[in-house]
Chains A and B, each alone.
Chain A
Amino acid sequence: MGAYVIRRLGYGAIVVFGVLFLLFILFFTVTSPDDIARKALGERVPPAVVEQWKINHGYDKPLFPAPGQWADNMLVEHYRRMLTFDFGRSDADDTPILERIRKGMGPSLALTIPLFVLSLLVAIPLALLVAFFRETYIDRAGVILAVLAMSVSVLLYIIGAQYLVGKVLHWFPISGFDSNPQVVVRFLALPIMIGVANGLGGDIRFYRTVFLEESNTDYVRTARAKGCGEVRIMSRHVFRNSLIPLLTRIVVAIPFLFTGSLLLESFFGIPGLGAITVDAIQGNDFSVLRTMVYIGSLLFVVGQILTDLSYALVDPRVRLE
Chain B
Amino acid sequence: MESHLISNGIVLVMLFGTAATIWAVRRSRLWSSAFVSLWHRRRLALLVTAVYVGVALLDSVAWVGGDSLGGDTVSLHEARSVIDRVFGGSQEKSYSAPLATTEFYGGRGLRYPGGHWLGTDMIGRDVFYLTLKGARVALLIGGLTSLIAIPLALLFGISAGYFGGRIDDVVFFLMTTLASMPGLLLLIALIMVMGKSTLAVCVALAVTGWVGFCRVSRGETLKLRELEFVSAARALGVSEFQILTRHILPNLMHLVIITFVLMFSGLVLSEAILSWLGIGVDGSWGQMIDQARNELSRDPIVWWNIAASGAALFGLILAVNFVGDALRDVLDPRTVKDEK
Contact = CB atoms under 8 A, between A and B. Distances in A.
A89 B180 CA distance: 25
Contacts of A206: 338, 340
Given A26-B189, A27-B193, A293-B186, A153 B286 contact: yes
B310 A209 contact: no
B257 interface: no
Interface stretch (A48-56, A110-118, A284-292): A284-292
B10 to A, nearest CB: 27
Contact of A151 (B276, B279, B321): B321
Among A31, A151, A156, A263, residue most surrounded by chain B Cβ atoms (within 10 Å): A151
Given A150-B321, A209-B337, A286 B180 contact: no
A92 interface: no
A159 B296 contact: yes
B205 to A, nearest CB: 15
A187 interface: no
Interface stretch (B63-71, B77-85, B126-134, B265-273): B265-273
A155 B185 contact: no
B289 A304 contact: no
B194 interface: yes
- Give the contact-size bracket for chain A: 35 or more
A225 interface: no
A76 interface: no
Interface in A148-171: 148, 150-156, 159, 162-163, 167
Interface in A289-304: 289-290, 292-293, 296-297, 300-301, 304
A26 B188 contact: no
Contact of A26 (B193, B290, B306, B325): B193
Contact of B180 (A151, A167, A292, A304): A304
Contacts of B313: 153, 156
Nearest to A292: B185
Contact of B318 (A26, A147, A263): A147
Given A15-B177, A154-B273, A159-B296, A26 B190 contact: yes
A22 B177 contact: yes
A23 B193 CA distance: 10
Contacts of A297: 180-182
**Chain A interface helix/strand/loop/mixed:** helix
Nearest to A26: B193
B6 interface: no
B52 to A, nearest CB: 14
B86 interface: no
A26 B207 CA distance: 13
A300 B193 contact: no
Interface stretch (A2-10, A132-140, A274-282): A274-282
A300 B180 contact: yes
Contacts of B186: 293
Given A30-B193, A202-B340, A206-B338, A153 B310 contact: yes
Contact of A167 (B190, B297, B322, B337): B297
A150 B340 CA distance: 13
Contacts of A163: 296-297
B321 A155 contact: no
B180 A301 contact: yes
Contacts of A202: 340
B192 interface: yes
Interface string B182-224: 1011101110111000000000000000000000000000000
B283 to A, nearest CB: 16
B248 interface: no
Interface in B295-313: 296-297, 306, 310, 313
B150 interface: no
Contact of A282 (B265, B278, B335): B278
Nearest to A213: B337
Nearest to B190: A26
Given A19-B177, A30-B194, A301-B180, A262 B286 contact: no
Contacts of A153: 269, 272-273, 286, 289, 310, 313-314, 317
A173 to B, nearest CB: 14
A152 B285 CA distance: 13
B180 A15 contact: yes
B277 interface: yes
B277 A278 contact: yes
Contacts of B23: none
15 contacts: A22-B178, A26-B193, A153-B313, A153-B314, A155-B272, A155-B286, A155-B289, A159-B289, A209-B335, A209-B338, A213-B337, A262-B277, A292-B185, A293-B186, A296-B181
Q: Kindly list the 3 A-B residue pairs having the minimum CB-CB distance in the complex, ordered from nearest.
A: A18-B177, A296-B182, A151-B318
Given A156-B306, A277-B188, 7 more contacts: A151-B317, A153-B286, A153-B310, A159-B289, A202-B340, A256-B182, A281-B188
